[in-house]
Amino acid sequence: MNVEIIITIFWLVALFVSITVHEFLHAWTANYLGDPTAKAMGRVSLNPIAHIDPIGTIVLPLIMALTTGFVFGWAKPVQINPNNFKNYRVGQALTAIAGPLANLIMIFIFTGIYKLLPESGFFSLFLIILIELNVVLMVFNLIPVPPLDGSKLLYMILPFETIRKLEIYGPFILLPLLIFFGGTIIFPIISFILNLLGLPPIS
Helix then strand then coil, in percent of the chain rounded to 5, is 75, 0, 25
CA distances 197 to 112, 135, 190, 202, Å, are 10, 10, 11, 13
pLDDT of 203 higher than 70: no
Q: Is 132 among the residues known to form the active site?
A: no
Residue 57: CB atoms within 10 A of its CB come to 22
List, for residues 153-179, the tens digit of each pLDDT value.
Answer: 888 888 888 888 888 888 888 888 888
Return mean pLDDT, the chain.
91
Task: Give the pLDDT score at 1.
Answer: 66
Which distant-in-sequence residues (6+ apart) come within 8 Å of 157 by Cβ?
none
Average pLDDT rounded to a whole number, residues 5-18: 93
pLDDT band at 2 (very low <50, low <70, confident <90, very high): confident
Catalytic residue (choose from 4, 23, 161, 167): 23
What 3-state DSSP class applies to 143? coil
pLDDT in tens, 29-42: 999 999 999 999 99
DSSP code per residue over 7-48: HHHHHHHHHHHHHHHHHHHHHHHHHHTT--HHHHTT-S---G
Judge contact between 80 and 99, C-beta under 8 A. no
Angle value at C-alpha 76, between 89 and 33, nearest 5 degrees: 30
pTM summary value: 0.92
Nearest C-alpha neighbor of 158 from the set 143, 140, 145: 145
